[in-house]
A and B are shown apart, each in its own frame.
With several copies, the nearest count.
Chain A
Amino acid sequence: MHKIQQTYTVLSNKKVCPRYYHLSLDGGKLPQNIYPGQFVHIRVREGLEPFFRRPFSVFRARKTVDILYDVVGQGTEILSSKGKGDRLDVLGPLGNHFALPDKNIRQVVMIAGGIGVAPFLIFSDYLKSHKAEKTLLYGGRTKAHVFDFKPFVRNGCDVHVATEDGGAGIKGRVSRLFSKIRKDPESTVIYTCGPKPMMAAVQDFARKHRLPGQASCEEVMACGLGACLGCSTKTHSGYKTVCYDGPVFDLQEICF
């Protein structure tokens, strides 16, 4: 019944650092239709446990559809047990996407907290031909949350890392990296994804310096299709569904 419900085959599913897994799906024609910031909604196994599907940002969409994920509970635990050849029931691509920066933009700043980094690789793929300086500010809790950023570097990103325990990059929160941001409202744009407190800090910073930006949000989801109105989040223009109106919102719109 669904245009967007398909079963895909797992091509690989590997740990890329102590905390994160990288899953590749044989996406058929799916990759062409995916824009940066969109997500896929995965039924991690048949049956009723867990009951909901699980949403994951698309990490990359070239020939395969890839996600990067953190094992935080039952759903992601089951996902981590999948291997080559296993089949997954996937809805996607879902949601809106990051707005591509205007031509006059000279710095694109991506601010990621932990697994919130996921949508930025596909975004940097799309930004490749954009002349702007691309800066990824990544904050992880520990070294275990830090993986290989070469694909970002290959896409022309400057990558700066901070960890709370100082195990990798500089010690501290990602806000200690905000000094890398040019404070020019005309030519800098911020994109952020990560835990709410971090995004709230980004929002404050951007507001203060009048920098435009977008944020990719998370809420628990049921349908993923904008049907149940369950994933609503508070914005300055009322409740909005993260799955349908989002996950990407104007940075200043969201009430964190």
Chain B
Amino acid sequence: MNLSVKIGTAVFPNPVTVASGTFGHAEKYYRLEEVKKLGALIPKTVTLHAQEGNPPPRIVETPAGMLNAIGIENPGIDVFIRQKLSLLQNINVPLIISILGHSDDQFLKLTEKLNKAEGVQALELNLSCPNLQKKVLVAQDPRATSRLVQKVKKVSRYPVVAKLSPNVTDITVIARAAAEAGADGVSLINTLTGMQIDTKSRRPVLGNITGGLSGPAIRPVALNMVYQVAQRIKIPIIAMGGIMNADDALQFIMAGAAMVAVGTFNFVNPRAPLDVLQGIKAYMKKQKIQDIHQLCGSVIAP
């Protein structure tokens, strides 16, 4: 059974990964021989300088999902490379590093620093974090997306994946801009902007006022976007948004995803990514499918 997938020149043993910001401390809590079975890991987004993140509360449960406004808390790229990257490399699983610059220049600096590091398979450009004090995200503007992808592609020794926002009128326009600018893949979706109010105190529940909605609640939205994008562009899609189990993941693959990431559901069931992988294999076996590429985009729609 062939499960391996490619993004640009990077090869991943299978299509199952974890979404940025939803998986960590594997070295302490996980059986690494199990983590190693995944197709890739995508760690929390790293920025050029350390960020302390947003004031708490940062998360709240919502119906079948959650809001988060972490604010990309991270130690900055230098500390990341020095301290975390080697822990991750020890797991011996392909790594897709998610980066976010607050300017084109910062994206380039991040890329250059990672060019010098070892054990990285691809870059994911987070163009879509809704929890920073920006009015317009890069991924809400096709020109900005195009320009940034082009610049990073010129510099990067790794395949480059653009992570897109669902908070747009037509995500296919942005995806096409990324593809035409040379991206090797796109990741979708990041979170939908949302809010909750505590009626007792009359205050927003989140310290940041608004946050990003994720989890099973948004899965139908994510699936539609993956389906629409897959109709329009040829580069591989890393799909995420509410995936809890193999059936969910298969829906995304049938809609056209090359890889699938478990995000929020890691918090509910840390075993979910492996369950997804096993479930995909079981489905392929039952349906006598030899190669995952036969499933990719196989939805039968008029």
Contact = CB atoms under 8 A, between A and B. Distances in A.
A and B touch in the complex (CB under 8 A): yes
Interface in B20-63: 21-25, 28-31, 34-35, 44, 52-53, 55-63
Interface band, chain A: 20 to 34
Contacts of A91: 270
Interface hub of A5, A50, A239 (most chain B Cβ within 10 A): A239
B22 A227 contact: yes
B75 to A, nearest CB: 11
A121 to B, nearest CB: 26
Interface class of chain B by DSSP? loop
B224 interface: no
Q: What is the size category of the interface that chain B forms with chain A?
A: 35 or more
A223 interface: yes
A2 interface: yes
Interface in A196-249: 219-234, 238-239, 244
A43 interface: yes
Interface of B: 21-25, 28-31, 34-35, 44, 52-53, 55-66, 68, 70, 73, 215-216, 264, 266-271, 273-274
A1 interface: yes
A239 B52 contact: yes
Interface in A1-39: 1-5
A72 interface: no
B29 A4 contact: yes
A49 B63 CA distance: 8
Given A230-B70, A238-B52, 6 more contacts: A43-B268, A225-B25, A225-B270, A228-B59, A228-B267, A229-B58
Contacts of A227: 22-25, 266-267
Contacts of B57: 219-220
Of the listed residues B24, B62, B65, the one surrounded by the most CB atoms of chain A closer than 10 A to its CB is B24
Contact of A3 (B31, B65, B274): B31
Contacts of A134: none
Nearest to A227: B24
A232 B54 CA distance: 9
A173 interface: no
A52 interface: yes
B53 A222 contact: no
A224 B59 CA distance: 12
